[in-house]
Amino acid sequence: MKLLLTLPALWLAACTIRPEITPSDNNAPATALPASVTRTDLANKAEVAVGTENAPLTDAPFVPPPITRKTATKVVVHLEVKEVQGRLADGVEYTFWTFGGKVPGKFIRVREGDDVEFHLDSHPNNKMPHNIDLHAVTGQGGGAGASMTAPGHSSTFSFKAINAGLYVYHCATAPVAMHVANGMYGLILVEPKDGYPKVDHEYYVMQSDFYTTGHYGQPGLQPFNMEKAISENADYVVFNGSVGALTGPGALTAKAGETVRLFFGVGGPNLTSSFHLIGEIFDHVQAEGNTNTTMENVQTTMVPAGGAAIVDFRVNVPGTYILVDHSLTRAFNKGALGMLKVTGTEDKVVYSGKTDDAVYSPEGGSVRNNPEPAPLQTPAANKAERIARGATVYGNCVACHQATGLGIPNAFPPLAKSDYLNADKIRGIKAITGGMQGKLVVNGTEFNGVMPALSLSDEEVANVLTYVLNSWGNSGGEVTPADVKANRIVPVH
Ligand code: CU
């Protein structure tokens, strides 16, 4: 008898031993978790909601204020589905399908343990049925089946927010990828009971990809292109629903010394984001919106389609910090570029700016401060040769100003038909040799960015400016090395 009782017990014990469980834990159940993980879903399920309130909903880049109440409550959410035509890029219109009239959809903020009474209201002018799948919901389809709604109708369902975290919501009506591609996604934050550490600014940013019949920038009302979506060949990758939504007047703002939290999500439908902020390090990252592990000092955080992350950081010095998907052609050629403008006092200890520009000589093995003459270049014999050579030098400019000379809307000004350049050729010399920063109006559009000074010889600057002046409908003319020499900002070494 004794043998019969003991053998199954040993067998069970052997099966349940996991690396983090010591032999003395032989009686631990098969579902044992590492000590750092606490189960909260059952406790949250048991929490009784007290009172009722309407959820404040916000459009990106803003988020509702942190929740300060200490108990669960019934939160009523009214989210309106609306099909609207709007701007995808300068001159490019798109028929967006939205949660709340804009892309991304309204930001929803509830507390862990809350009972959420959700109303999906479909505007009578809509042409399609829609529904919502909230990743914060525990239950069939995340609410999709319960919320399928025809135009002019309203569906209601309820759920208990038993898991804290930052979650994507999206339409899940077939064809799902098309509904999502048209803009049907947003974020819902189920705030942990103890909240997040206080910061000075909280913002909402969501990345997504668009597929249009015309190529990037092709003007007019652009229809959705299913073939491109299936091959994941996005024409646009954007933050907050359009090219330039977070640049110029839409830029996020903060003051030096302040802390900033970004609730960042990826709506997709297809592309993962390598989310990065040029010039900053994320002090903390809640990867994938999780509540258990905080990563520190992260340069780039990967956010999956249908996923989210919470990042926070202190901005120590003033400047324009650039939000990008570090898959860089998306940032510089498809629109995934935003700005955080930080004002305040310089701190030269944290960042000095350029303090010296000396000649570097690898042969001598040291950096010398005494300039030497630039290597001898055969001067261009005539204007035609200057233009041809300038086309090669233009390789220094193409990433920002583009091979077409059209620049990038809201980020880099056009050189094509540029009223700014054509008015005065000396401006081009000063820009290339001295760099530019701050507000600039070109062809009636305001830009506010940074152009670094380029280390080019007088001959090279003359060639590239002559090339630009004689391309893309500009007014022609010639810039000579003597012009450059007389007007350059930073002397050539
Ligand atoms: Cu839909």
Please give all residues whose CB falls under 5 A of ion ligand 1, grouped by chain where several chains appear.
130, 171, 173, 179, 184
Distance 325 CA to ligand 1 centre (A): 26
Asked whether residue 387 carries a pLDDT value surpassing 50, the answer given is yes
Q: What mean pLDDT do residues 259-272 have?
A: 98
Asked whether residue 464 carries a pLDDT value surpassing 80, the answer given is yes
| 128-140 residue pLDDT tens | 999 999 999 999 9
Asked whether residue 36 carries a pLDDT value surpassing 80, the answer given is no
Q: What is the pLDDT of residue 374?
A: 45
Kindly tell me the number of DSSP H helices and DSSP E strands found in the chain. 11, 25
Distance 148 CA to ligand 1 centre (A): 9
Distance 455 CA to ligand 1 centre (A): 52
Q: Which residue has the tokens 């049925």?
A: 129
Distance 111 CA to ligand 1 centre (A): 26
Q: What mean pLDDT do residues 166-186 have?
A: 97
Average pLDDT of the chain is 88
Same domain, 116 and 77: yes
Distance 267 CA to ligand 1 centre (A): 13
Query: Which of 432, 450, 435 has the alpha carbon at shortest distance from 390?
Result: 432
Distance (Å) of CA 301 to CA 163, 175, 288: 22, 30, 9
Q: How confident is the model at residue 11 (pLDDT cuts 50, 70, 90)?
A: very low
Tell whether 373 is covered by a domain: no
* 246-255, 282-291, 405-414, 415-424: segment of lowest average pLDDT: 405-414
For 154, what's the count of Cα atoms within 13 Å in the CB-facing half-sphere?
A: 9
pLDDT > 70 in the chain, percent: 89
CATH number at residue 322: 2.60.40.420
Distance 182 CA to ligand 1 centre (A): 8
Query: Which of 75, 27, 23, 26 has the alpha carbon at shortest distance from 51?
Result: 75
Q: How confident is the model at residue 402 (pLDDT cuts 50, 70, 90)?
A: confident
**Helix or strand or coil: residue 399?**
helix
Cβ neighbour number for residue 441 with a 10 Å cutoff: 11
Same domain, 71 and 189: yes
Q: What mean pLDDT do residues 392-405 have?
A: 84
Tell whether 45 is covered by a domain: no
Q: What is the pLDDT of residue 434?
A: 87
For 269, what's the count of Cα atoms within 13 Å in the CB-facing half-sphere?
A: 25
* 34-43, 54-63, 161-170, 278-287: segment of lowest average pLDDT: 34-43
CA distance 239 to 237: 7
Extract the runs of DSSP E, i.e. beta strands, from 178-229.
Answer: 185-191, 201-210, 220-221
Distance 354 CA to ligand 1 centre (A): 51
Cα dihedral sign, 410-411-416-419: positive
Same domain, 274 and 183: yes
Distance 261 CA to ligand 1 centre (A): 30
Same domain, 164 and 246: yes
Tell whether 67 is covered by a domain: yes
Q: Which residue has the tokens 């709007």?
A: 86
CATH number at residue 395: 1.10.760.10
Q: What total number of domains does the chain contain?
A: 2
Distance 103 CA to ligand 1 centre (A): 13
Distance 296 CA to ligand 1 centre (A): 37
CA distance 34 to 19: 10
CA distance 273 to 388: 39
| 191-235 residue pLDDT tens | 999 999 999 999 999 999 999 999 999 999 999 999 999 999 999
Tokens of 493: 């070494």
Same domain, 389 and 343: no
Distance 185 CA to ligand 1 centre (A): 9
| 419-453 residue pLDDT tens | 999 999 899 999 998 888 888 999 999 888 778 77
220 conformational bin, left if phi > 0, alpha if psi -120 to 50, beta if neither: left
- Of these ranges, 99-108, 437-446, 449-458, the one predicted with the greatest mean pLDDT is 99-108
Which residues partner with 436 through β-bridges? Answer: 451
Asked whether residue 1 carries a pLDDT value surpassing 50, the answer given is no
Asked whether residue 4 carries a pLDDT value surpassing 90, the answer given is no
CA distance 151 to 131: 11
Tell whether 15 is covered by a domain: no
Distance 333 CA to ligand 1 centre (A): 28
Distance 470 CA to ligand 1 centre (A): 49
pLDDT > 90 in the chain, percent: 72
Distance 172 CA to ligand 1 centre (A): 6
304 against 349, higher pLDDT: 304
Q: What is the pLDDT of residue 354?
A: 81
Extract the runs of DSSP E, i.e. beta strands, from 401-472.
Answer: 436-442, 445-451
Distance 24 CA to ligand 1 centre (A): 54
Q: What mean pLDDT do residues 43-59 have?
A: 92
Distance 329 CA to ligand 1 centre (A): 29
Tell whether 42 is covered by a domain: no
Distance 59 CA to ligand 1 centre (A): 19
Question: Which residue range forms the structural domain that includes residue 462?
Answer: 382-487
Q: Which of 304, 334, 353 is the last residue of a domain?
A: 353
Asked whether residue 472 carries a pLDDT value surpassing 90, the answer given is yes
Contact in structure between 283 and 234 (CB atoms under 8 Å): no
Pairing of strands 273-278, 115-122: unpaired
Q: Which of 333, 353, 373 is the last residue of a domain?
A: 353
CA distance 466 to 244: 30
345 against 61, higher pLDDT: 61
Tell whether 410 is covered by a domain: yes
Contact in structure between 432 and 454 (CB atoms under 8 Å): yes
Same domain, 348 and 409: no
Distance 457 CA to ligand 1 centre (A): 57
35 against 337, higher pLDDT: 337
Distance (Å) of CA 339 to CA 247, 253, 331: 5, 8, 12
The H or E element containing residue 330 is helix 328-333
Distance 432 CA to ligand 1 centre (A): 49
Same domain, 169 and 266: yes
Tell whether 392 is covered by a domain: yes
Q: How confident is the model at residue 10 (pLDDT cuts 50, 70, 90)?
A: very low
Distance 114 CA to ligand 1 centre (A): 26
Q: Which residue has the tokens 């189920």?
A: 190
Q: How confident is the model at residue 378 (pLDDT cuts 50, 70, 90)?
A: confident
Phi, psi values for residue 353, rounded to 5°: 75, 180
Cβ neighbour number for residue 183 with a 10 Å cutoff: 28
Cβ neighbour number for residue 139 with a 10 Å cutoff: 14
21 against 420, higher pLDDT: 420
Same domain, 183 and 306: yes
Same domain, 193 and 284: yes
For 232, what's the count of Cα atoms within 13 Å in the CB-facing half-sphere?
A: 7
Same domain, 418 and 340: no
Distance 99 CA to ligand 1 centre (A): 9
Distance 83 CA to ligand 1 centre (A): 9
CA distance 485 to 460: 11
